[in-house]
Amino acid sequence: MNKVIEAVNGYKIPQLGFGVYKIKNGKEFEMAIHEAIRVGYRHFDTAKIYGNEEELGRELQNSGIPREQFFITSKVWTTDLGYEATKKAFEQTCKKLNVTYLDMYLIHFAGPHYLEAWKAMEELYSEGKIKVIGVANFEIHHLENVMKHSRIPPMINQIETHPEFPQNELHEYLARHRILHEAWGPLGQGNKALLDRPELTEIAFHHNKSVAQVILR
């Protein structure tokens, strides 16, 4: 089901990912992940602050599908930014997910000490423990600061992106610097008003697709 995008280092990323933000732990979480896997999702996105890394790891393991067929993303929270703190947070995340490496690890926000955190992530990447290193919610000046003080530029920036907030200027900057643009909240976080927009419903009708399909396209 999933087209693959390549990071600047050639590592393959399934284009459609399943984010587990705000999914309650327990039966609801178990059913959501089980169904996502059943319909073909292999890219799963979590974060320390979501509080469900352990549950996600358990469900992926229970699926019986080999680890290497999944693309797993997590993120270091702002309270864990810093060289030693980020390394420790990474190890805790791997332990909770029950994995030996992460496909992608992101700095969740540009909080204090994010440059030191990036240095830790560069080392973890060089050791093969993270396959793709990147950031989330970074603006242009944050990205420029990282690139000025790093050996390895961010490979991806995960940012809020949808028809009412396309982030065109930032997108163009990312494209120029070969940093992938990953959207979070592409459906406006379930905003019904967005799904009812007349221009989008017209396009969807014309192509015999749902509005959600048009937006993702």
Concerning whether 105 is annotated as a catalytic residue, the answer is: no
> H or E element: which one contains 103?
strand 102-107
Residues whose CB falls within 8 Å of the CB of residue 57, separated by 6 or more in sequence, listed in order? 96, 97, 98, 99
In contact, 90 and 120? CB cutoff 8 Å: yes
Closest Cα partner for 114 from 81, 153, 77?
81
Of the residues 21, 41, 50, 125, only one is catalytic, namely: 50
CA end-to-end span of the chain = 14
State the catalytic residues.
50
